[in-house]
Each structure stands twice: as structure tokens, then as C-alpha cells.
Amino acid sequence: MPTNQNIFPSSIAFVAVLGFFSFGTFAQSSCTPQWLLANADFPSTSFAINASVIWDQDGDGPLPPRLVVGGNAEQSPGSLTSLRVFNSQTRTWESLDNTNLDTVYALATIQNATGGQDLLVGGNFDAVPGVPGTARLARWNGSNWSSIGNGVSEPSRYVFAIATLPNGDIIVGGSFTGIGGTLITEAIARWDGTNWHSVGGGMGVGVNIVYALKVLPNGDLIAGGNFRTAGNTQVNNIARWDGSTWAALGAGTGSQVNALATMPNGDIIAAGTFRTAGTTPANLIARWNGSAWLPLGTGFVGAFMPFVNDLLVLPDGRLLAGGFFDNAGGVPTQAAAIWNGANWSSIGAYASPNYVNTFTQMPDGWTFLGGGFYGARPVSTASVARWGCPACDDIDFNNNTVFPEDADVIDFFNVLAGAECPACNDIDFNNNGVFPEDADVIDFFNVLAGGTCP
């Protein structure tokens, strides 16, 4: 990598800023997962969140990957819309654009021709004004909306899940009996960039809904929801598509599947509202090992109609589950819990009422939680929270791919002093939610000198 050995500039401004800080001894410490301080570094959206995704609009360009969330427009106050982007520079939520879609249930990304990503949006909303064919399913490239095969034109229908296959095809799941205005298909369809296709005949007949989609490492697709058959195969709420044929996962689940995940060893996790998986008792969550369903401890219970809405496998292989429940494996917890392969544990309490709809792993190491909950400790926040271990940013503060260099240090202190730098990281270098502070400067120089983030 390019380097510059003169990494300690001698500018007066640099020395002057240093004078405001008292430096202590660099120290290493183990991380204790914590809640990010809300309303200081990560403010409320003030409306319930249904979906979230990390969107890298320009790929190798100057814009950092950003968190996008979607929810209910009727709950969205003021001028902000139901699609929001988190601005890491200003630490505020911004509207994606001026279009206020009614209700967003699904978000995904897809590579575009310029090396960045377009945003795929699904839910229950009318067409974007002036852009026909965007009802309930639309594509945003950072500047303009476009249709995905004329969307879902049926009234009172929904898109609940979107996934992209390795070849770039888009899979859409929800509650619909037709898509694009021409294709008759039940609850699931595939867009190849030009035409819509049925996925093995769809999910039977009658009232069928696909709530979750998961693409496996080999390109196979898992669909979960509320359906009895996939094509002509009896599957019971969960099925696997290999590109040509639907297959059951044992006897399926006793009722609805809302969320899917794959573990590092290849096991498939399903979660929702069911009490059995196959013939195995399983409270809201179960594991498919390729031949049998197995419980994850004693699962989840709650006082009133509990459910699991989302799953996330953390970088260390542990599993995070979120929904509406107050006990996981016998451990009191509310809305979220973590599985270490043998036991459930709480990740911290909320004040009631609470439910988690969505998780997203953030680039800075935090885990985003979105839903409808209040009082995520240690301070109150509505609908959003972050949990995990703070991790320092890398030393390329200005994101120009040249590091270490004088400019990184100069830009760090310029931003610290209040200057604008659109391509730079924010000043919360150690991502602990407290800024500006001595620790950000200490950690910056610690990493600059080759150390690790405490």
C-alpha cells in the first residue's frame, strides 16, 4: 500500500488542537457488549421500523456504506419519509428522497452496472408519483426510482421479502397471486432483468404468504412463511428450491415461519410462531441439520402471542433472535436474545411494550436493532438501538486509500474542530457513542502507531 513516513505534521493548527487534550497511557481492555447511547450518537426515527439494510451506493467511490431503514409512513412525523438513511457525519436520519411510500416491509440491495448498489424496496404502497409500475416493488439508484417488471399491481397485496440470487436474478415473496401484470403465480416470483418467472409453480393455491427468503452459499433458496405446498410438494411453511425443484425440509413446521438464517456449519435456522418442527417440540425456533429438526434449547415463550421476526448470525458465529417474547431458554429477556450453540442469554432489557422486526450488522461492528420498542437501556430511544462492542475506525480517516499519511491526521483534527469533510469518517473514532472526547484522540494515535483499539 502507498505510505508516507512523515505522519506527524507540524502545522500550528494541529499542535493547537492537541493542546486541548490530556493524554493518558494507552491501555488494552476487553470488550463488554453494551447499548449505544441513544439520542446522542444514534437518534430515534420516531416510527416503527420494519426492515433495514446496509447500502453501498457507489462501491469504490467516496460515499461510505449507509444504513437504510423502512417503516410506516403514517407514523412518520414532519417532513421525513418512511425510508430513511443514517448520515454518519451529522449523526442524523435523512429521508431517502421526497417520496413517502406508505408501508415498507422489505429492503435489499443489488449490484448495478457502475460497481455500486441499487436499493430494492418492497411493501404495501402505491406507485411512486410519475413512475408507473412501481406499486409495492421499486428500485432506487440513488437519484431515480424505476420499475421492476411493473411491480405488483393487485390491490391489498404485499411484498414481505426480497432476495438476490448469485446470477443477479431477484426473488420476491409476499402475498400476491400475480406480478408484473401478466404472470400468474402464488406468493413468490423471479425477475431475470427482463421477464418475470414462476418459481416452481409458486406456493399452492388459496391464501399463501412468503415472509422470509434466504439464499444459501450454493445458490439454493429457502422460503419461509404460511403455506402448505410449494409447487406440488407438501412442505408446511418452509421449502428449498434448487433452481428446478421444490423440496421439503422434513415435515416442515407447525405454523408460520417469519425468519431464516444459515449457521457457519450449514445448518438452517427457522423462526416464527410455530410450536413444533417436524415432530419435535420447538418453541418459535428450530434448527434443520440436513436430515432432522432439532430445538434450540427450550426456545421462546411470552405472555401473549409471542413471535420471532428476525435472525442474525454474528461474525463470531453466535445467533441473535428478535421478536416479541419475554423468556429465552428459561432466561428472562425482552425482544432479543443470543444463542451460543448451547444456551440462550439476554442481551439486555427493554421497557415494555417491545418487539424487534429487523437486525443488521453495521460496518463499524455494532448490531442495529429496529422495531417498536422504548427504553433500550441505558437511555430511552424509540424504534432503533445499537448493541455490541465498539470497534475503532481504520486509520484511513479521509478514505482516500492512502495511509498512514499526514492528511489523515490533519483531516481528523479539522473535523474535530468542526470542519466539513464529506468523505471522512465521523469524529467518534472509537464508536462508543461519546464524542468529542479525549478517548477518540488517544485511540486514533494508538491505532496510528500500530496498536489495537481498546
As a whole number of angstroms, the distance between CA 148 and CA 134 comes to: 7
**Rounded to 5°, angle at Cα 33 from 47 and 88:** 50
What are the CA-CA distances from residue 52 to residues 107, 161, 328, 357 (Å)? Answer: 6, 12, 24, 9
Q: What is the pLDDT of residue 125?
A: 93
User: pLDDT tens digits for 167-222?
Assistant: 999 999 999 998 998 888 899 999 999 999 999 999 987 779 999 999 999 999 99
User: pLDDT tens digits for 5-43?
Assistant: 333 333 333 333 333 333 222 223 345 666 664 555 677
**pTM, to two decimals:** 0.81
Q: Mean pLDDT of all residues in the chain?
A: 84
Other C-beta atoms lying within 10 Å of the C-beta of residue 450? 8
pLDDT tops 60 at residue 44: yes
As a whole number of angstroms, the distance between CA 187 and CA 197 comes to: 12
User: 190: which 3 cell numbers?
Assistant: 423471479
User: pLDDT tens digits for 110-141?
Assistant: 999 999 999 999 999 999 999 999 999 999 99
pLDDT tops 60 at residue 3: no
Structural domains of the chain sorted by starting position, each given as residue range(s) with its CATH number in brackets: 12-28+395-448 (no CATH), 34-388 (2.130.10.10)
Residue matched to cell numbers 404485499: 158
